[in-house]
Amino acid sequence: MNRTDAITLLPLIVVAGTSVLAMLATAVRRSHVFTLCMTLAGLAAAFGCAWPAGARAPRQVTALLIIDDYSLFYFRLLIAAVFAIAILTYDYLRKRDLHREELYILLLIATVGAMVLVASSHFASFFLGLETLSISLYAMIAYLRRPRPVEAGIKYLVLAAGSAAFLLFGMALVYADLGTMEFARMAQLLPGTPGDALLISGMVLIITGIGFKLAVVPFHLWTPDVYEGAPAPVSAFIATVSKGAMFALLLRYFYSAGALANRHIALIFTIIAIASMIAGNLLALLQNNVKRILAYSSIAHMGYLLVAFLVGGEFAVDAVTFYLVAYFVTTLGAFGVISVMSGGDGEPEQLEDYRGLFWRQPALAGVFTVMLLSLAGIPVTAGFIGKFYIVAAGASSARWALILILVISSVIGLFYYLRLVAAMYATPDKEPAAATMPAAFIGGAVLAALTCVLLWLGVYPNPVLRMIENVFPK
Amino acid sequence: MSSGLDSSILTLVTFIPLAGALILAMLPRRDKEIRVFALVVSLVDFIVSLHLPAHFERAASGVFQFEVNIPWISSPNIHYHLGVDGVSMWLIVLTTFLTPLCVLISWNSIHGRVKEFFILLLVMETALLGVFVALDLFLFYFFWESTLIPMALLIGMYGHGRKIYAAVKFFLYTMIASVFMLAGILWLYAQTGTFDFVDIQRAIQSGQIAHFSTAATWLFLGFFVAFAVKVPLFPLHTWLPDAHVDAPTAGSVLLAGVLLKMGTYGMWRFNLGLFPEQSRHNAPWIVALALIGIIYGALVAMVQPNMKKVIAYSSISHLGFVVLGIFSFTQAGLDGAVFVMLAHGVSTGGLFMLAGILYERRHTYEISEFGGLATPMPVYSTFFLFIVLASVGLPLLNGFVGEFLVLSGAFQAHALYGILGATGVIWSAGYLLWMYQRVFFGKVKHDVNNALPDLSLRERTALLPAAIMALVMGVAPLLWLNSIDPAVHNSLALFTQMASKVVGQ
């Protein structure tokens, strides 16, 4: 590995290095604020390093990683998201009495895993990135060491380990058939091979592994429990960084290897997309727990993303990427509200906890409303533009059946988002308990920033769209 | 004409309220200053919007004026394309005219979260104005959907009774229906590569769009359903009484005064403008629904025990006239339809304000709670009578002109349309005057009502413009019609053959 390689990998190295430094610093002396500052500084530095790396992109660094505009775009997105999550985590942990510093270390390690996933061009790095991400998540989910978080952590551990085994087996089958583990090499070989049973079963097993991480139907069963059990900032991390990185990999792998051309594979994804949209939205209707609602809604959103992914065509990558950006901002905002609202002894999870929120904390209710409307895809928010893009992408390739299901399931989705919004604006039956808690300044600042970004993307998305178009030249 | 102002005037008019709302959000919570500020912003916007009729070239009112067309989103190709013709111009002025009155009428009736109320009201105004100025289908849809949120919040937060239920019902009905319009818009985009109304219209007329003939009926229906729910056309009207009854007064005024017109405006602009063939084809059943709406709305209004419900159902009846006029495809009918839209905005807005004033005093809309109010509240009852007469279509007041034109257009299209429509006029006189009689005449039935204070200066200030406008529109309708007429004529040019056939009969 020479100097240029090192510079292109700098974002990755800086985040990894920060986690080591944070660990050492914690060993010497515990300080919550210091660890946070260190984490944020490291992330900011890594974000900045994306520019020198970009000047040397695209570059294949060993057979494992490829640093191109695509990877760097997702690096920035992931780092920005983790930045917001770290601040929310600070707010969240401040009210709790436990060792706080390790969560930041885990957060950074998980981020490294996500970044490796995004940049991977080889089965080995794919698997390594995935495991780095997953193993940190086991601990992050169970971090509070109470019965429910621990239960969620164990659940995630068992299922993730199982799905990793499937993934590994699938990779082995594909390798046995094609004799390579490099994505680029597969792209050359695939068109030549008739889709034989070995390859198809390998692919299906890989899809199982990916599907588990994305939490699409029928691999979604862990999602509500884990979202519910994990601390709110960690749920935000799972919903955004973990899923987003996986989706970035999915795009790269299936587009660059051309696997979607196989109609069996395409059919499997179509079924998964349809099932996720319908089941996610229908199941969310039955919930009274806000975190579970968000969990099921995220299943549906992965379904929408798969629609754009399936459509292909010139729009699709732009549509997926923009939607992911919008989804990141929105989901961070929604979980951010939950985490800002949570006190020292629990989180406001039930719908009842939000009843009349507007009359107690109008700003917070306003932010949550904007986030929910964005999830529902109502204009003036980023979610609307994102959904519009997906539908437009589908329309331009005349995939009317998928579009129809997307539209119908979004309408179903409206019901539960509105239920939450309606609860927030309902006049409270009794006078609220006075002084619910002081509005946390630092968490509030993150929420305000996210709301501004969301509205900006919803009203004038052009700059971001341009940026995305430049990342994926036609 | 000063070209600099002309190209930015629509942007100004549309976004002044939004800018005002943003400033309002930063002001401290001092209710009095907030009210004054909201009033000033809405008045300024009204005055600025008067630039439009003042500088409008009536000779060329068939084409879009004050146009702005700049790229907004590069891919897909979406433009910030604004422009008005003789019809949308007056709908804009109607909106800016009603908003200051809404501010005045809500002066004391909002308790708690006053600041948010006026922010929502101003945001609402921007969204409504955007609907009427947008000439890009995406932009239109954007504003169209944006009206939902402030209105639903106004109902849900500041209404009374089952307000959350009403707000959610309103939101879901209109949202679900407009999804069909979105599908239509996207189909057109997929085929033409543009969202621009003018370009799409041209492409359709020149027959360049592939598969258009097979899809056209579906497209027509997609747009029509979205608009029909908004109007609301029978049998899609059930959200309206709930929304009206539980909305705060200002919400009702904007809902009846402007929001419903989005539906009829859309029918005229998009259904007629883009799909003339299909409009003609589907006109019989649409007219039938409109006629049912006119008569059904009037009959149901007659038996309502609740004042606000009477007015709400009267809206269904009046908007039936608008749809009847539009789908008569005659010059008189369309002129009348647009005029009814404006007149109904003024007079029904007035009626809702009057009902709201009573509600502030007694906290009820039940007709049986009143009776003999003419004695304690003489000024109030005079205003009420004036507006009621305007609404029932007394000659020299604004309701008459529009209904007369619609009915003459309907007679030209088919005698039966005219006859059935005309009965609606009789019914409306019946239910409104009967309501008036029960509320104001006779002896005071409930002692509390003896002590009711008459109108305050502020309330008179809010009602007077509506009353004056009702009179002016009735006496000098040409002020409006001479710019409406060419625009309508233009859209009818699409129907030349059919129109000449009908007239020739």
Q: Would residue B137 count as lying in a domain?
A: no
- Residue B193 near chain A (CB below 8 Å): no
* A407/B179 touch (CB, cutoff 8 Å), yes or no: yes
Q: Would residue A443 count as lying in a domain?
A: yes
Q: What is the pLDDT of residue A126?
A: 93
Q: Would residue B134 count as lying in a domain?
A: no
Q: Would residue B141 count as lying in a domain?
A: no
> Is residue B223 within 8 Å of B266, Cβ to Cβ?
yes
Q: What is the pLDDT of residue B274?
A: 86
Tokens 């005309």 label which residue? B422
Q: What length is written for chain B?
A: 505
- Residues in chain B with CB shorter than 8 Å from the CB of A384 are 142, 145
Which of these, B191, B314, B187, B324, lies nearest to B264 by C-alpha position? Answer: B324
**pLDDT of B183 strictly over 50:** yes
Residue A355 C-alpha, separation from nearest chain B C-alpha, in angstroms: 12
Residue B215 C-alpha, separation from nearest chain A C-alpha, in angstroms: 13
Amino acid at A186: M
Q: Which residue in chain B is spatially nearest to A384 when comparing CA positions? A: B142
Cα(B381)–Cα(B365) distance, integer angstroms: 16
Q: What is the pLDDT of residues A351-388, one digit of tens each?
A: 888 888 888 888 888 899 999 999 998 888 899 989 88
**pLDDT of A435 strictly over 50:** no
**pLDDT of A192 strictly over 70:** no
Q: What is the pLDDT of residue B504?
A: 43
Give the total number of structural domains in chain B. Answer: 1
- Residues in chain A with CB shorter than 8 Å from the CB of B145 are 378-379, 384
Q: What is the pLDDT of residue A128?
A: 94
* B164/A425 touch (CB, cutoff 8 Å), yes or no: yes
Q: What is the pLDDT of residue B497?
A: 47
Amino acid at A463: P
Q: Which residue in chain A is spatially nearest to B148 when comparing CA positions? A: A378
Q: What is the pLDDT of residues A229-239, one digit of tens each?
A: 899 999 999 99
- Residue B72 near chain A (CB below 8 Å): yes
**pLDDT of A173 strictly over 70:** yes
Q: Would residue B495 count as lying in a domain?
A: no
Residue B229 C-alpha, separation from nearest chain A C-alpha, in angstroms: 16
Cα(A83)–Cα(A68) distance, integer angstroms: 22
Cα(B179)–Cα(A419) distance, integer angstroms: 20
Q: pLDDT band at residue A200, thresholds of 50, 70 and 90?
A: confident
- Residue B190 near chain A (CB below 8 Å): yes
Which of B73, B112, B176 has the CB atom closest to A461's CB atom?
B73
Q: What is the pLDDT of residue B191?
A: 83
Q: Would residue B265 count as lying in a domain?
A: no
Give A65's strand partners: A61, A120
Amino acid at A170: G
Q: Which domain holds residue A344?
A: 262-474
Q: What is the pLDDT of residue B92?
A: 92
- Residue B298 near chain A (CB below 8 Å): no
Mean pLDDT of chain B: 85
pTM: 0.88
Q: What is the pLDDT of residue B413?
A: 84
Which of B157, B168, B183 has the CB atom closest to A418's CB atom?
B168
* B148/A465 touch (CB, cutoff 8 Å), yes or no: no
Which of B74, B143, B153 has the CB atom closest to A466's CB atom?
B74
Mean pLDDT in residue range B5-26: 87
* B183/A407 touch (CB, cutoff 8 Å), yes or no: yes
Residue A187 C-alpha, separation from nearest chain B C-alpha, in angstroms: 29
* A359/B113 touch (CB, cutoff 8 Å), yes or no: yes
Q: Would residue B466 count as lying in a domain?
A: yes
Q: What is the pLDDT of residues B409-425, one digit of tens each?
A: 888 888 888 888 888 88
* Residue with the larger pLDDT of the pair A314 and B253: B253
Q: Would residue B234 count as lying in a domain?
A: no
How many C-beta atoms lie closer than 10 Å to residue B274's C-beta? Answer: 23
> Is residue B101 within 8 Å of B462, Cβ to Cβ?
yes
Which chain B residues in 105-134 lie under 8 Å from chain A, judged by CB atoms?
A: 112-113, 116
Q: What is the pLDDT of residue B503?
A: 45
Q: What is the pLDDT of residues B441-474, one digit of tens each?
A: 888 877 787 888 888 888 888 889 999 998 998 8
- Residue B218 near chain A (CB below 8 Å): no
Residue A469 C-alpha from the chain's centroid: 21
- Listing DSSP states for A229-255 in one string gives HS-HHHHHHIIIIIHHHHHHHHHHHHH
- Residue B175 near chain A (CB below 8 Å): yes
Give the total number of structural domains in chain A. Answer: 1
The two counts, helices (H) then strands (E), for chain B are: 23, 2
Mean pLDDT of chain A: 87
User: How far is the CA of B164 from the CAs of A361, B344, B364, B367, B461, in angstroms?
Assistant: 19, 27, 19, 24, 32
Query: What percent of chain B has a predicted confidence (pLDDT) above 70?
Result: 96
- Residues in chain A with CB shorter than 8 Å from the CB of B113 are 358-359, 362
- Residues in chain A with CB shorter than 8 Å from the CB of B176 are 411, 414
Query: Mean pLDDT: which of A74-78, B82-86, B232-236 is highest?
Result: A74-78
Q: What is the pLDDT of residues B30-62, one digit of tens each?
A: 888 888 888 999 999 999 988 888 888 877 756
ipTM > 0.85 for the complex:
no
- Residues in chain A with CB shorter than 8 Å from the CB of B157 are 358, 425
Q: What is the pLDDT of residue A193?
A: 62
Q: What is the pLDDT of residues A123-172, one digit of tens each?
A: 999 999 999 999 999 999 998 888 888 999 999 999 999 999 999 999 99
Burial class of residue A290, CB neighbours in 10 A (0-12, 13-18, 19+): buried
Q: What is the pLDDT of residue A124?
A: 92
* Residue with the larger pLDDT of the pair B124 and B505: B124
Q: What is the pLDDT of residue B61?
A: 59
Query: What six digits make up the tokens of A9?
Result: 């990998």
Q: Would residue B439 count as lying in a domain?
A: yes
- Residues in chain A with CB shorter than 8 Å from the CB of B214 are none
Q: How many CB pairs under 8 A join A and B?
A: 77
Q: Which residue in chain B is spatially nearest to A356 when comparing CA positions? A: B157
- Residue B468 near chain A (CB below 8 Å): no
User: How far is the CA of A422 from the CAs of A293, A415, B152, B327, in angstroms?
Assistant: 15, 10, 10, 38
Residue A402 C-alpha, separation from nearest chain B C-alpha, in angstroms: 13
- Residues in chain B with CB shorter than 8 Å from the CB of A371 are none
Q: Which domain holds residue B473?
A: 275-490
User: How far is the CA of B445 from the CAs of A145, B305, B435, B453, in angstroms?
Assistant: 70, 16, 15, 16
Which of A362, A392, A469 has the CB atom closest to B186's CB atom?
A392
Which of A380, A391, A411 has the CB atom closest to B176's CB atom?
A411
Q: Would residue A268 count as lying in a domain?
A: yes
- Stretch among B64-68, B286-290, B382-386 having the lowest mean pLDDT: B64-68
Which of these, B220, B222, B233, B140, lies nearest to B181 by C-alpha position? Answer: B222
Question: Which residue of B26, B75, B118, B155 to mutate against A (max A Cβ within 10 Å)?
Answer: B75
Cα(B199)–Cα(B188) distance, integer angstroms: 11
Query: What six digits make up the tokens of B262?
Result: 């989005």
Q: What is the pLDDT of residue A315?
A: 75
Mode of pairing for the β-strands spanning A65-67 and A59-61? antiparallel
Q: What is the pLDDT of residues B296-344, one digit of tens each?
A: 988 898 888 888 888 889 888 889 889 999 888 888 888 899 999 999 9
Tokens 């053959």 label which residue? B497
> Is residue A455 within 8 Å of A370, Cβ to Cβ?
yes
Query: What percent of chain A has a predicted confidence (pLDDT) above 70?
Result: 95
Q: What is the pLDDT of residue A130?
A: 93
* A379/B164 touch (CB, cutoff 8 Å), yes or no: no
* A379/B112 touch (CB, cutoff 8 Å), yes or no: no
Q: What is the pLDDT of residue A443?
A: 83
Cα(B22)–Cα(B27) distance, integer angstroms: 9
**pLDDT of B498 strictly over 50:** no
- Stretch among A31-35, A47-51, B309-313, B492-496 having the lowest mean pLDDT: B492-496
Q: What is the pLDDT of residue B500?
A: 47
Q: What is the pLDDT of residue A105?
A: 93
Which of these, A335, A89, A403, A19, lies nearest to B187 by C-alpha position? Answer: A403
Q: pLDDT band at residue B173, thresholds of 50, 70 and 90?
A: confident
Q: What is the pLDDT of residue A462?
A: 85
**pLDDT of A40 strictly over 90:** yes
* Proportion of chain B in helix, strand, coil states, percent, rounded to 5: 80, 5, 20
Q: What is the pLDDT of residue A303?
A: 92
Q: Which residue in chain B is spatially nearest to A411 when comparing CA positions? A: B176
Q: Would residue A289 count as lying in a domain?
A: yes
Mode of pairing for the β-strands spanning B78-84 and B65-73? antiparallel
**pLDDT of A91 strictly over 60:** yes
Q: What is the pLDDT of residue A137?
A: 93
Which of B73, B112, B186 has the CB atom closest to A395's CB atom?
B186
Mean pLDDT in residue range B82-110: 88
- Torsion of the alpha carbons at A117, A118, A119 and A124, rounded to the nearest 10: 20
**pLDDT of A55 strictly over 70:** yes
How many C-beta atoms lie closer than 10 Å to residue A180's C-beta? Answer: 16
* Residue with the larger pLDDT of the pair A58 and A109: A109
